[in-house]
Structure 1
Amino acid sequence: MSVNDDLTSVQRCVDELSRSVDRLEQRLGSGGLEMRRVRADADHLRESLALLREAAPRLSQQRSPELVTISDTPYDITLWTDSDDEGLGARDRHAP
C-alpha cells in the first residue's frame, strides 16, 4: 500500500468518525462538556490529517541517513595511554 492509499483510508475513517459524532451529538445534544470535547477532538484529528497530507510528499522524499560501517577489529590500545580509567582514577595513584 502506498502512503497516499493509507492517507485515503485514514481520511475515510475520520469522515466516518465525524458522521458518528454528528449522530451522537443529535441524540445527546451539544451543550455538555463531554460532547464538546469529543467534537473538538474529532475536528482536531481532521485538521491534523490535513496537515499530514500536505507534508506527506516532503516526508516521503526524505532519505534515511547513510549507514556507517564500524569495524569489529579492536582499537589501538595506545590511544588511551594518557587517560584515566573511568571511575577508577589513574593507574599510578591511590584513592585517599
Structure 2
Amino acid sequence: MTSSEIVELRRALGQLRHCVGSLRTRYGDVAAVQRLANDVERMDIDATELIDLDSTPRQREAPRVEREVVVVPDTPYDPKLWHDADDEGLGGYRHT
C-alpha cells in the first residue's frame, strides 16, 4: 500500500466517522446508527492491521508436519464382529 493510498484511506474513514456523528445527532443512538459506528470502527481496525502488515517484514511459513495416513479398507467386515449386536437405528431388528 502506498503512502498516498494510506492517506486516502484515513481521510475516507474520517469522513465516514464524521457522517456517522451527524446521523447520531439527527437520529440519536438508535440501533442502525450504532451498527454504522461499529462498522466504521471495524474498518479503522482492519485498515490499521493492513498498514501494519504492509510495513512489517513477512514471516516465513511454519514448516509442514508430516501426518500419518491411515488407510481404511473398503472390504466388508467379518460378520462375526456384529454377532449379538443390536441394530439401534433399525427399530430393534436383530441379525441372527
Q: For the superposition of Structure 1 and Structure 2, which TM-score range results when normalised by the shorter chain?
A: 0.5 to 0.7
The answer for unaligned runs of 5 or more in structure 2 is 60-96
Ranges of 4+ aligned residues in structure 1 off by more than 2 Å: none
The number of residues matched between the two structures is: 59
- The alpha carbon displacement at 1:36 in A equals 1.0
Instruction: Tell me the percent identity.
Output: 17
* TM-score after normalising by structure 1: 0.54
Question: Greater relative contact order (Cα 8 A, min sep 6): structure 1 or 2?
Answer: 1
- AA aligned opposite 1:39: A
- The alpha carbon displacement at 1:58 in A equals 3.2
Map residues 1-96 of structure 1 onto 2, 5 A cutoff. Answer: 3-30=2-29, 32-58=30-56
- The alpha carbon displacement at 1:3 in A equals 1.2
Cα distance in 2, alignment partners of residues 58 and 5 from structure 1: 18
The answer for unaligned runs of 5 or more in structure 1 is 63-96
- AA aligned opposite 1:55: L
- AA aligned opposite 2:55: P
* TM-score after normalising by structure 2: 0.54
CA RMSD of aligned residues (A): 2.0
- AA aligned opposite 1:20: C
